[in-house]
Amino acid sequence: MNQPVAVFTDTDDLDPAPGVRLLEEAGFEVRVAGTRDPDAIAGIAADAVALIVGYARIDAALLDRLPGLRILATMSAGYDMVDTTEARRRGLWVANLPDAATEDVAVHALASTLSLVRRLPQADAVVRSGGWNADFAGQRHLPRRASELTLGLVGLGRIARSFAALAAPVFGRVAAYDPHAAPAHWPAGIARYDDLGALAAASDVVSLHVPLTRATRGLVDGELLGRLRPGGFLVNVARGELVDPEALLTALETGRLAGAALDVFPVEPPQADDPLRTHPRIQLSPHSAFLSDTSRRAYVCGPAENVLAWHRTGRPLTPVVDPTVAPAPVVDPTATAPVVVPTAPAAPEGAAA
């Protein structure tokens, strides 16, 4: 009897070996493509039943070349690299990792926020350049007192709720906007806003925690940034394409924003001359909010466990596309009240995770 074949596409800085062992011990033949190139993936995965996906774009053209595929398992909570509409149309399961790095991303968001508020990169730069306190205190923006600030969360899923719990003792107020969250399940201590613009207007720091869909692409534009309190901050540990980069740069130059912290970018990695990469008041990290010694293993073992559960029971542990049921409507997160939008999440134009 032929072994079922599972293929890891791109693993980047992750070591797939623990996940490979889990699958091989269960009787799978496992291959590691080590690339996002669709031609290479199509060649190595032509007979695969399972594809474990990092950042590689999985679209209709690639799926056409994988006739035996039955399940796609992402190595992330996000799954915007997969054309879910095409996956569902072809009867494929799609599974993600909703909780593999919740704590890590929440802590990274908090660390990034506090670094912005306390202007730690600028303080570091002053000392390294030979300056001292007077040079730092003479800059346009001073550190802010966190207890006097409002932290606004766009989206209130697992990561945002964890971030809110960490931030609540530090910030004066935590507020959030999420049309998906039912009032009955809204966490105590977090002010609820039913309008995204109103949340921005009430916030000193806005942190993004929503998936990338057609409705959320470019969600943070010039209009929304213009609603922020002057001298505010933006934190993005979600998806780069949520933010209009030109609008962000304009807000920084006009002083509407005092700073931003980006772990994600519209194109990854950004080009050397990308102004997002070179702006002195943008704090950068290399899409590493998820990364820790613990999560590194979870990100390869979790997808393998999804594949194994599907193989044994016919259903992965954490499906986001179940081909056996009709799709739920998508809610436009920009609407004042929930508005049903008859679209499905779109695959990204650039790499993201």
> Which is the catalytic residue, given 88, 173, 287, 311?
287
**Is 74 within 8 Å of 9 (Cβ atoms)?**
no
DSSP-H helix ranges across 35-81:
38-44, 60-63
Q: Is the dihedral of CA 225, 226, 228, 233 positive or negative?
A: positive
What single-letter DSSP state applies at residue 161? H
> Which is the catalytic residue, given 90, 118, 268, 315?
268
Angle, alpha carbons 300-211-52 (nearest 5°): 25
Distance CA 190, CA 165 (A): 9
Instruction: List residues bridging with 52 in a β-sheet.
Output: 8, 73
239 is catalytic: yes
108 is catalytic: no
How many residues are given for the chain? Answer: 353
The DSSP bridge pattern shows strands 330-331 and 340-341 to be: antiparallel
**Is 150 within 8 Å of 205 (Cβ atoms)?**
yes
Exposed, middle or buried, 232 (CB in 10 Å: 0-12/13-18/19+)?
buried
> Which is the catalytic residue, given 70, 239, 296, 311?
239
287 is catalytic: yes
Closest CA to 159 of 228, 119, 107: 107
Distance CA 228, CA 226 (A): 6
Distance CA 287, CA 105 (A): 10
Q: Which residues are catalytic?
A: 239, 268, 287
